[in-house]
Amino acid sequence: MIRLNLTSTSQWLDLAPGLRLLVGPLTTALMVSARADPAIESLPEGASQEALALVMAKAVARRAVLDWEGVGDGAGNVVPVPPKASTHCWKSGPSSRRSRPCMSPRA
């Protein structure tokens, strides 16, 4: 269960056994910043709601995810959170599901 919490401090979010994210508070400033993300501004006129939602979620994640545990590459090496690029392995679509081992919990 994810518990909604209006705290102003960073919190660990457990996603699966051995996999968790440290996320900063989702403040108004963070959301305004995400809405101004270049990826959102570069969406074509008439982009679908699904496309907009995906790009917005990635923009929020780039700003909110501060650290993670249990994220590794295909060889099992720990992958650090890249600055402003934590969504590099959060792709959508059938073809990308096979290529995102970095979001699998480590054994």
Mean pLDDT in residue range 46-66: 93
25-48 tens-digit pLDDT: 988 999 999 999 999 989 999 999
Question: Rounded to two decimals, what is the model's pTM?
Answer: 0.67
Mean pLDDT in residue range 51-58: 94
Q: 49-64 vs 28-35: helix axis angle to the nearest 10?
A: 130
Q: Please report the pLDDT score of residue 34 as a whole number.
A: 92
Residue 67, helix vs strand vs coil: strand
Domain boundary assignment for the chain: 11-103
Question: CA-to-CA distance for 90 and 101, rounded, in angstroms?
Answer: 10
pLDDT higher than 70, residue 80:
yes
Q: Please report the pLDDT score of residue 2 as a whole number.
A: 62
Q: Please report the pLDDT score of residue 43 as a whole number.
A: 94
Nearest to 23 by CA among 10, 34, 14, 32: 10
